[in-house]
Amino acid sequence: MKKTGGLLNKKISRRNLVAGGAAIAGSAAVTGFPMVWAQKLKDITLNHTGMSYSTLADIGKQAEKDLGFKVEMSVVDHPGLLNRVSNDPKSIDVADVEIWQNKVLIPQKVLQGIEIAKIKNWGDLTSLYTDGTFAGKQVSREGDSPIEFIYRRSVDDGGPSAAKTDWVNFLPGVFNADTLGIRPDLVGRNITTWADLISPDFKGKTAIQNIPTNGIMDAMMAFESAGQLKYRDKGNPTKDELAATIAKLIMLKKGGHFRALWSTFDESINLMASGEVVIQSMWSPAVTAVQAQGIKCTYQPLKEGYRGWGNGLSLLGHVAGLKRDAAYEYLNWYNSGWVGGFIAKQGYYSSNPKTAMAALTENERGFFYEGKPATADITSPTGKKTNSAGDKRDGGSFEERFSKVAVWNNLMDQAEFLYAKWNEFNAA
């Protein structure tokens, strides 16, 4: 660290730049790069790898425009991301991981700590991630909530720390609260509870997601609210609880309750748009996509609350020197507004609500964040109309939605057992 001050005063040559790069990158004092650096950054290509719903080509393009270096977006599926990060970490610079995936990745020791002091807008980021509270209240700890994994013990020790430290495992990314999607024109009655997913009224007209870790959550929410099963902690069910849940799911499946089990996002869109199902597990952008086809689809708020999930941007261990500087630039840019505005239109939230809201028009801000009726047409990120003037967003304002997260997506202790059981459900 001592070297840093001296180096900055010197005229920077290519050689000592490379040599001192790591030292500088470790220093919090560096803000605003000299011209030479900007020149060098141009040659950098940063790879951002994540899942299809958040790793969007448009984000990479905009980042390139704003930052001046190349940002390459690669899309993988959930297991693909875990596999890539653990087995081929050098092929990724920034990994867009779901909170629960940290449980797998932290022990692999492939991520490096992100220094909070170098994240300029850290103070503006939602307390949901940085403090584990939302709107002044503690957020649910059922399942893997962001606060349980974000702080690391030290630079070198990625183990999650209960107390706040100066280093984090990931920069807060996009997040949302999931619920059931319905076709208001076809359900024929009010939908108010998760139990409606398993209600005999919708026999043969429902679908559940065939992604074990998420599907089981939807199922547990439904069985619990229907009073059929009880759980000590839905975020970490016991073997017995899982076995009982799967047994009930199998009974429903054999009884013809489910029209389908969907495993990809577009399957859920097709099921809903074609009217094959009228109530199902769904993700927010899928609802937007159905609406964009001119079909009424509601992301129905339910009295038991939402299933929350979140993403974070992690830095891979090998990223160093100039590339690390570029990566920090990117992390700072990510929560500076443009991304927040873009993903708001597919129903997601940015970890920096302040800049995201500023990036939206007044109409959009009112609709997506403040729970106000739209004053003009609302469009999807691709510019297709999703809602008309007068429509209100399902679930109300940002604050209203997020104060009702009941449980988080997670990787439970009994995940291995869950997967085996879920296989039985598939085979039944």
Partner 1 sequence: MNATRDVRGWRVKPPSSPSKVGKRMARKKSLITYVQVAPLTVVLFFFFVIPIALVVLVSFFRYQMLVGIVPQFTTKNYVDLLSNPTTWSLYLSTIKFTLIVLAITFVLGFWISYFLVFHVRNLITAIGLFLLCTIPFWTSNIIRMISWRPVLGREGLINSGMQGVGIIDRPLDWLLYSDFSVVVAYVHLFTLFMIVPIFNSMARIDKLLLEAAVDAGATRWGVVWNVVLPLSKTGIALGALFVVTLVMGDFFVVTVMSGGMSGSATSGIFNDLQFLNYPRAAASAVILLVIVLLIASAIFRLVDVRKELVK
**Four-CA torsion 383, 389, 394, 396, nearest 10 degrees:** 110
Token reading at 287:
């609802």
d(CA 340, CA 173): 9
**What does the chain come to in residues?**
428
**Residue 144 main-chain phi, psi, to 5 deg:** -95, 95
CB 242 within 8 A of CB 421: yes
- Residue whose CB is less far from partner 1, 228 or 426: 426
Least gap, CB of 264 to partner 1 (angstroms): 9
Residue 289 binds partner 1, judged by CB under 8 A = no
Within 96-115, the residues that bind partner 1 by CB under 8 A are 103-104, 107-108
- Residue whose CB is less far from partner 1, 275 or 373: 275
- Residue whose CB is less far from partner 1, 33 or 417: 417
Residue 422 binds partner 1, judged by CB under 8 A = yes
CB 308 within 8 A of CB 176: yes
Residue 370 CB-half CA count within 13 A: 15
Helix boundaries (H) for 114-264: 127-130, 184-187, 212-225, 239-254
- Residue whose CB is less far from partner 1, 122 or 258: 258
Member of 74, 161, 270, 403 binding partner 1 (CB under 8 A): 270
- Residue whose CB is less far from partner 1, 28 or 420: 420
Within 202-241, the residues that bind partner 1 by CB under 8 A are 204, 207, 210, 212
Q: Which stretch binds partner 1 (CB under 8 A): 157-165, 264-272, 293-301, 315-323?
A: 264-272
Give buried/exposed letters for 103-119 (b at 16+ CB in 10 A, else e). Answer: bebbeeebbbbbbbebb
The residue to which tokens 């690391």 are assigned: 152
**Residue 174 main-chain phi, psi, to 5 deg:** -85, 155
Member of 192, 263, 293, 382 binding partner 1 (CB under 8 A): 263
Least gap, CB of 103 to partner 1 (angstroms): 6
Residue 47 binds partner 1, judged by CB under 8 A = no
The residue to which tokens 């076709």 are assigned: 183
Least gap, CB of 113 to partner 1 (angstroms): 20
- Residue whose CB is less far from partner 1, 70 or 253: 253
Q: Which x/- pattern over 62-91 shows residues binding partner 1 (rule: CB under 8 A)?
A: ----------------xx--xx--x-----
Least gap, CB of 321 to partner 1 (angstroms): 30
Q: In 317-382, at which residue ranges do the beta strands (DSSP E only) sit?
A: 378-379
d(CA 173, CA 349): 9
- Residue whose CB is less far from partner 1, 127 or 263: 263
Number of H helices, E strands in the chain: 18, 18
Token reading at 244:
């009982």
- Residue 279 pairs in a beta bridge with 182, 206
Q: Which stretch binds partner 1 (CB under 8 A): 114-122, 151-159, 193-201, 265-273?
A: 265-273
Q: Which x/- pattern over 386-415 shows residues binding partner 1 (rule: CB under 8 A)?
A: -------------------------x---x
Sites of contact with partner 1 (CB under 8 A): 78-79, 82-83, 86, 103-104, 107-108, 204, 207, 210, 212, 253, 258-263, 267, 270-271, 274-276, 411, 415-416, 419-420, 422-424, 426-428
